[in-house]
Structure 1
Amino acid sequence: MDRLLRQAAGLGGAALGKLQHTRIPGVGQASTTEPADVAARRWRAVTVFRDDLAGPFPELEALGPDLEVRMQPAAGGRGTELYGRFHGTPDADRIGELRAALRRTKQLAEVGEVLRVDPATHGTRRPTPQGAALEGAAARAPREGVL
């Protein structure tokens, strides 16, 4: 049963990764249509609903000195755009860490804390293959930005 649950969790995470880059007719295109090495070097961004945003940003600083960070006013007076990218060509794990750190920084600036989905307020999920798949998707979501 444990092996089945681990496989279901892995499949849930893999399905999330596949769905993130799937083109849905009438909705738009996948988030990455460029070659992987080009996509790895582009800026990742969040819009923070604060005009007075200023560092330091511990969540981003924890990623190391090869991270470049910049800010600019958001369009229409809707706060500040916070950008980050790595020098060189980072791997998918580092990009996921950057995306998660940008979201945590946004939450800290806007709310004062990082909001958590788990543990679920109603208790733990049942140890079923479907529950394990959901756990796998939820574990991967902070890096991918979707659930």
Structure 2
Amino acid sequence: MNQLARTALVLAGAGAGAAVLRKAASARRRAREDGERWMVVTINRAPTDVMPHGDPPSPLDEFGDALEITVRPAPGDRGTELAARLREPASPASASLPSRLAGKDPRQGVRRALREAKSLLETGEVMLPDAPPTGRGDTVGGKVVGLASRRAGGEGVL
């Protein structure tokens, strides 16, 4: 291998290494920012109906002082935005994939509570999806679907 080829190989390796380091730093920064990010749902009700006495709607009231909650009119006069975030950001370890899969990420409870509050305020009850027939657990595929369905409750998109 001549000198020019070696130089090109070293430069390519250094570039790839720099890209990996940049990607890792970006992932750490994003994980830190996610812990401080507001989770928001739009509710088809007036702001005075969402928090009439300044108390958070059920089930958000279960968190007590652990949550910051804001209510503001939604853009375009389309209801109300109910936003919540943890006062103490989740640790990077609790936000990791294994923790999320085990259901130990504290943000999952906030997501679930926001969805349930939206459902209660709009319909008067917590709406649950019908169980898929493949989730019976009789087969390997059914067990996988059942596991994914149970874990999806905390990971839903807001």
- 2:156 corresponds in structure 1 to 145
Aligned length: 114
Aligned to 2:63: 63
| Distance (whole Å) between structure 2 residues aligned to residue 124 and residue 139 of structure 1 | 10
| The structure with more radius of gyration | 2
Q: Label 1:136 to 1:78 Cα distance change in 2 as closer, same or farther (>3 A).
A: same
CA RMSD of aligned residues (A): 2.4
| Aligned position for 2:110 | 98
The alignment's TM-score, normalised by the length of structure 2, stands at 0.64
* Structure 2 gap ranges (5+): 1-26, 96-104
Residue 125 of structure 1: aligned partner: 136
Q: TM-score when scaled to structure 1?
A: 0.69
Aligned partner (choices 105, 113, 118) of residue 125 of structure 2? 113
Give the C-alpha shift of residue 66 in structure 1: 1.6
- Is 2:111–2:154's contact at 8 Å kept on the other side of the alignment? yes
Q: Deviations over 1:59-116 (max 9, x none)?
A: 1111231211000000111100000011121243111110110000000000110011
Which structure is richer in relative contact order (CA contacts within 8 A, separation 6 or more)?
1
Q: Tell me, which stretches of 5 or more residues in structure 1 are unaligned? A: 1-31
In structure 2, what is the Cα distance between the partners aligned to 1:81 and 1:71? 6
- Hey, which of these two has a bigger chunk of helix by percent? 2
Matched-pair identity in %? 39
Paired amino acid for 1:111: T
